[in-house]
Structure formats: structure tokens, C-alpha cells
A and B are shown apart, each in its own frame.
Chain A
Amino acid sequence: MKMIKELIHDYAFFRGLTPEYQELLAGCGSNVRFNPNEFIFREGQPADKFYLIRHGKVSIDVYMPQRGIVTIETIGEGEVLGWSWLFEPYQWHSDARALVLTRAVAFDGQCLRDKCDADVAFGYDIVKRFAQIIIHRLQATQLQNLDVYSLQKRGP
């Protein structure tokens, strides 16, 4: 358990979390690994975890019948994968697949939600951290949707 707490301490996402909260979080974490091309989760499945990626790379994919698998984003070392565990209906909206050997800390969603409910200040802290990720992804998606390179030119 101490090892997970130390791991949490090393990553920017958890920076500033009090030792007490680190302990709470670590109590819901476990080390996991995924082989290349192994699915971490699939669209429609219950979202019961989130992952702190320690090494490796994960692609977030959506399957489109006419186009096949389309990768929306890749997530790498030090980044957090998944926020659906925090919001109803607790269901994944995409697939996540390890592109290379990937090691992560998996945090149990139900365990964390229970702790968030029991300690509202802890819950608020966690929600703020995930809100930052959601804002970042939303802004990145806006830029992606603008398709800026398709209109790019220099001169007539």
C-alpha cells in the first residue's frame, strides 16, 4: 500500500494532495499491466476504474462501421485515463487499448466514490482534479474539430 502512496506522490495529477488524502486514494489503488493491443476497457462496459499511466501508451478508440477503428487520442506516461467512473451511468464511452506494454495504477471507482461521499472535502478535491482533465480534453477536442490544418495556407 505504501508503494502506491509513493507512486501517487510522484505524479503531477495528484500534486498538492494532503498525505491523508493520498492515503485514502492509495487504499483504492492497485498495480496493473497490459500487453500491447490488450483492451483496458470497452465501450458500453461498466466504468468501474480509472488509471494513472506509469509507463507505456494507450489509445482511446471508437469503432465506426465504415471506417474501422478511429483513434481519438493517445494517453501516455503520467497521464490519467478515464473519468466515467465518477459520473452516472458509470459506463465507458469509448475503447481504450494499450499500444505498447503499459503499466498503470488502477483505482477502484466504487471504493473511491464511497470515500468521496463519506468525506465531501476529499470528494470536492477529486472532482476538481478530474474537472481539469475534462476541461483540457474539451479544449483539445475543440481544436481538433476545427481541423485547422485542412485550411492552412501561406499566400494565395
Chain B
Amino acid sequence: MITPNDPMIPQQYRIRQRQQDNADTFTLELEPTNGTVLQFAPGQFNMLYVFGVGEIPISISGNPATPSKLVHTTRSVGTVTNAMSTLKTGDVIGVRGPYGKSWPVMQSTGRDVVIVAGGIGLAPLRPAIYQLFAKREQFGKLVLLYGTRTQEDILYRQELEQWRARFDVDVYVTVDRATSDWRGNVGVVTNLIPRTPFYPPDTVAMVCGPEVMMRFTVQALQKRGVPTEQIYVSMERNMKCATGFCGHCQFGSTFICKDGPVFSYDQVESFIGMWEV
């Protein structure tokens, strides 16, 4: 039997705004057709359904303080995301969620917070950044390290510039490859970790990006002295039901959709990097 609150039934959302962030990445701002506002926590994801094509998990990248604007940033990399990229303002999309565990923003009160994002990994971290800014006085040093492929791939460039102009956050951006017109940092994001000001034993780190980037980042954070249990990562696997029933996203003894996607690193350390998992 289907009830209106069935977690497997998508609700209809209309595209209020569409923005092309860079060559293959776009952001959709959605509004519910029935007026129901979706409350969410930073780091959670929704299942987005392009009717007639398929459903995919996408992290929420908007501000949790303004949930009436449901924002998702997506990279066109497959059948569903390619179809989604062709949708226009006014088109309708299916949404179910939000699902998953969130970034430990409020558990980081009184500590330094280091955000490390790689590529589109900045999108799932942006809600946490908004929340940290909203309660800025409750945290110690706030550091954002962002690495991406080239200067053309930088996500939320305007916002990064605004954040960088603040006096209460250290923002460092680096690119893996650059031409001579780029005056910023060049090199992998892990290079930034030894350079930045924070007190490792009392730091919470939130890391999101490609899995291999996260592994190297965690090593650099550990080398700097951040305790493993204070390092959080957002994992990706092939999520289907998003409620822990189907088993598609099983990762060792956990389900990414239900027990994650955000994990403290000590929860996943024994599985991460294992070919078999």
C-alpha cells in the first residue's frame, strides 16, 4: 500500500532557477509544487528523479537556514545527469529525501574546523560552511581548503571570493594544472594542509571529494596531528533505495545511504582503499 509519506514516492518539485557553474556542472534551485518545505541537515542527500530516465542520489548544496530553496549541484557524467542538465526553468523533477547522516557541525563547537573539498566535493560541504558562518562565534579557527583540476573548474567562484574577503575564515584554493595566467596556488589540495593555521589536536576536519583524494587528505591531516576520530569524510557508492533496504551501497558492515554518507574516518578506515569492498 502506498501512503503519501512513503519514502519511496518522489514529490514533485519545479525548477525555479538553473545555473551553469562550469563546463559540465550545473546547479538547480527547486521549489515544491505542493508548497511543502523540506528541512535538511548539511551533508544529507536527496534522490532526484528525471521522469522517464532514472533516479540518482545528489547531495543538497543549499543553505539549511533557507530550506524553501532546495539547491542541488550536479556534474553531467552519465545518462541521468546528462538528461537532468537539459532541464529548464519550470520543468518538474521528482525528489525524495532527505537521507543520510550529516556533517558534525554543531558537535564541532569550541574547536577549530578545517574543511577540505576536492572538485564537486565542495557542493555537499557548502551547507556546512553556511551553518558554520551562521554560528561563527561558536568555533575556533575556520579554514577552507579547496582543490580542483584547473582554474576553469572552480565551483562557486563568486562565493569563494566573498568568503575569502571575510576576516574570520582562511580560504585557500589550489588547482592541479595551471597556465601562466593563473596567479594562485598550483598543486594538490593536500599540499595546503601543512601551510594552514589550525591547532590539530582540537580540530574537526570535514573532507569531501574523490575517494583517493580523501585518502591522501586524511593521511596529511593525521600527519599534522588531527585525531582520526575527528576527521569526517563523505562516501559515495551506488545508492538506489536510499533507505538501507536494497543493499546496493553496502560498504563493509555499513550502508552508505543510511549509516552515511558522512562517516568519521575511524568508522570506515578498515574498508577504505580495499579493492574488494
Chain A interface (Cβ < 8 Å from any Cβ of B): 12, 57, 59, 61, 67-74, 76-79, 99-100, 139-140, 143-144, 146-156
Say yes or no: is B10 at the interface (Cβ < 8 Å to chain A): no
**Which residue from chain A places its CB closest to the CB of B79 in the assembled complex?**
A156
Chain B interface (Cβ < 8 Å from any Cβ of A): 54, 56-59, 74-75, 77-81, 118-121, 124, 148-149, 153, 174, 176-180, 182-188, 190-191, 194-195, 209-210, 212-213, 216, 236, 238-239
Task: Output the least CB separation between B3 and chain A (Å).
Answer: 26
> Are A152 and B188 interface neighbours, CB within 8 A?
no
Bound complex: CA A139 to CA B148 (Å): 17
> Are A70 and B179 interface neighbours, CB within 8 A?
yes
Q: Which residues of A contact B148 (CB under 8 A)?
A: 149
> Are A143 and B190 interface neighbours, CB within 8 A?
yes
Q: Which residues of B contact A155 (CB under 8 A)?
A: 56-58, 74, 78, 80-81, 236, 239
> Are A153 and B77 interface neighbours, CB within 8 A?
yes
Q: Could you tell me the dominant secondary structure of chain B's interface residues?
A: mixed
Bound complex: CA A150 to CA B153 (Å): 10
Answer whether A74 and B80 are a contact pair too, CB < 8 Å, given A148-B118, A155-B57: no
Interface centre among A57, A148, A153, A154 (most CB of B within 10 A): A154
> Are B78 and A71 interface neighbours, CB within 8 A?
no
Q: Which residues of A contact B212 (CB under 8 A)?
A: 143, 146, 148
Q: Which of B54, B58, B119, B239 contacts A152 (CB 8 A)?
A: B119
> Are A154 and B59 interface neighbours, CB within 8 A?
yes
Shortest 5 CB-CB contacts between residues of A and residues of B: A155-B56, A149-B119, A153-B77, A148-B210, A149-B149
Bound complex: CA A9 to CA B184 (Å): 28
Q: List 11 A-B contacts (CB under 8 A).
A: A70-B177, A73-B187, A74-B184, A143-B212, A143-B213, A148-B119, A149-B153, A155-B74, A155-B78, A155-B239, A156-B78
**Which residue from chain A places its CB closest to the CB of B73 in the assembled complex?**
A154
Task: Output the least CB separation between B126 and chain A (Å).
Answer: 14
Q: Which residues of B contact A153 (CB under 8 A)?
A: 75, 77-78, 81, 120
> Are A71 and B182 interface neighbours, CB within 8 A?
yes
Bound complex: CA A69 to CA B177 (Å): 11
> Are B209 and A152 interface neighbours, CB within 8 A?
yes
Answer whether A149 and B176 are a contact pair too, CB < 8 Å, given A143-B212, A154-B57, A156-B81: yes
Bound complex: CA A143 to CA B210 (Å): 11
Instruction: List 16 additional contacts besides A70-B179, A74-B185, A149-B149; criterion CB under 8 Å.
Output: A67-B179, A71-B178, A71-B179, A74-B186, A143-B212, A148-B118, A148-B119, A148-B209, A149-B176, A149-B213, A152-B210, A154-B74, A154-B75, A155-B56, A155-B58, A155-B74
Q: Which residues of B contact A150 (CB under 8 A)?
A: 149
Q: Which residues of A contact B149 (CB under 8 A)?
A: 147, 149-150
> Are A140 and B180 interface neighbours, CB within 8 A?
no
> Are B179 and A140 interface neighbours, CB within 8 A?
no
Task: Output the least CB separation between B255 and chain A (Å).
Answer: 16
**Which residue from chain B places its CB closest to the CB of A36 in the assembled complex?**
B183
Q: Which residues of B contact A79 (CB under 8 A)?
A: 195
Task: Output the least CB separation between B261 and chain A (Å).
Answer: 9
Answer whether A71 and B213 are a contact pair too, CB < 8 Å, given A140-B190, A156-B56: no
Q: Which residues of A contact B213 (CB under 8 A)?
A: 143, 148-149
Q: Which residues of A contact B195 (CB under 8 A)?
A: 76-79
Task: Output the least CB separation between B94 and chain A (Å).
Answer: 14
Bound complex: CA A76 to CA B158 (Å): 24
Task: Output the least CB separation between A65 and chain B (Å).
Answer: 14
Task: Output the least CB separation between A26 and chain B (Å).
Answer: 24
> Are B210 and A68 interface neighbours, CB within 8 A?
no
Q: Which residues of A contact B183 (CB under 8 A)?
A: 99-100
Bound complex: CA A131 to CA B251 (Å): 37
**Which residue from chain A places its CB closest to the CB of B215 in the assembled complex?**
A143
